[in-house]
Chain A
Amino acid sequence: MADYWNIAPGMESALKECFTRDVEADVTLEFSIPEKDFNNAGKGSSEVKNLLKRLGVDSEVLRRIAVASYEAEINVAAHSIGGKMTSLIYDDRIHIKFEDKGPGIADIKQAMVPGFSTADDLVREFGFGAGLGLPNIEKNSDALHISSEAGHPTLVEFLIFFT
C-alpha cells in the first residue's frame, strides 16, 4: 500500500500519534456510504456538523470540517464500491476516517493534483468531477493521511483541531 501524508513540518510525530488514539475518543459515530447513492451521501457529514455545532465548535472550524468531510464522503460514493465513515470526537479535535472496499487509487500524488478526475458521466451529471475534492480536503484539514493502491481498499483520514 502507498501512503500519502500532509502534515506541517515539525509536527509529524505528534500528529501521526493523534491518528492512533481511537479508543480514547469521547464520541464515535459510524455511517455507511453506499456506492453512487448521491441522495444519501452527505448524511454522515451533516450529522457530525450538527453535533459539533451543538457542542459549540467555532463556525469557521465547523465549515472546514463540514467541507472536508462532505468531499471525502462523496468520493467514497462516487469512486468506490461503497464504504463507511467513522468520526472520532475528542475534546480538542475531530478525526474522521473514510474506509471503502476498493477499487483503490493507483497514483495518490496524481489524484491530489487540482483538476485530476476519473469521475464517470453519472458523477459529473451531479456536478462532481472537477478534481477539486481531495485538494479541498487537504486545504481544510490540519493533517491528512491517504493509504491506497490499485485493486485495494482506500483509507482517507484527517484531523481538524477545534482551536
Chain B
Amino acid sequence: MIKLTDYMKAISGVNYTPALDLGSIELDGAYVCDMLSDVMGAAKPKQAWITIMKHLNVIAVASMTGIPVIVLSKGNVPEAGVVDKATEEGIALVSSPLATYDLAGILYQMLKG
C-alpha cells in the first residue's frame, strides 16, 4: 500500500480537489480504462482510476464503484462543474502531464519495485 500523496509527487500530479483530505487515501493498485462499464465491473476500492475521460459521468462512476481517486493523464484539465461534483462526492481528482503508460508503470514500481 502507498500513500496517494507520495504517488502524486512521483507523477507531478496537480490536485483539483484541494478541499478533500488526500492524506488519508492509500492505494494498492490502479485500473486503467476509458470505458465506464468496464471500470464499474472490474475496478476495486483502493485503486486509482487512470483515464483520459473527464466528463461528469466519470465522477458518478467512481462514486458508485467506490474508487477514491481519478488520475487524468496527458495533462487533461477537468471543467469547473466536474471539479465541483468530485469535491461534493468526495472523489479526489488529480491531473498529471504523464501518459497512461508511465502513470501505471510508476505506480507499479512504487508498489512492487
Residue positions of A touching B, CB distance < 8 A: 38-39, 41-42, 45-46, 49, 59, 63, 66-67, 69-71, 74, 126-133, 135-136, 139
Chain B positions 51-105 with a Cβ under 8 Å from a chain A Cβ: 53, 55-58, 60-61, 63-66
A-B contact count (CB 8 A): 66
CB distance from A39 to the nearest CB of B (A): 5
How many residues of B sit at the interface, in one of the four size bands? 10 to 19
Partner of A46, one of B36, B38, B41, B60: B60
CB-contact partner of A130 in B37, B60, B66, under 8 A:
B37
- In the bound complex, residues from chain A placing their C-beta under 8 Å from that of B36 are 126-128, 130
B19 within 8 A of A: no
Candidates A45, A126, A127, A129; contact of B64 at CB < 8 Å: A45
- Once the chains bind, are B55 and A126 in contact (CB under 8 Å)? yes
Within 8 A of A (CB), among B27-56: 34-38, 40-41, 45, 53, 55-56
29 A-B contacts (beta carbon < 8 Å) = A38-B55, A39-B56, A41-B57, A42-B57, A49-B63, A59-B66, A63-B66, A66-B64, A66-B65, A67-B40, A67-B64, A67-B65, A69-B64, A70-B40, A70-B61, A70-B64, A71-B37, A126-B55, A127-B57, A128-B35, A128-B57, A130-B37, A131-B37, A132-B35, A132-B37, A132-B41, A133-B37, A136-B40, A139-B41
Distance of A39 Cα from B82 Cα, bound (Å): 10
Chain B residue with the shortest CB-CB distance to A75? B37
Residues in B neighbouring A128, C-beta threshold 8 A:
35-37, 57
Q: Which B-chain residue is minimally distant from A129 (CB atoms)? A: B35
- When distances are taken between beta carbons in the complex, the residues of chain A under 8 Å from B61 are 70
Would you call B35 and A130 a contact (CB within 8 A)?
Answer: yes
CA distance A139 to B38 in the complex (A): 13
Nearest A residue to B41 by beta-carbon distance? A136
Chain A residues near B53: list those with CB within 8 A.
127
Q: Which residues of B contact A45 (CB under 8 A)?
A: 60, 64
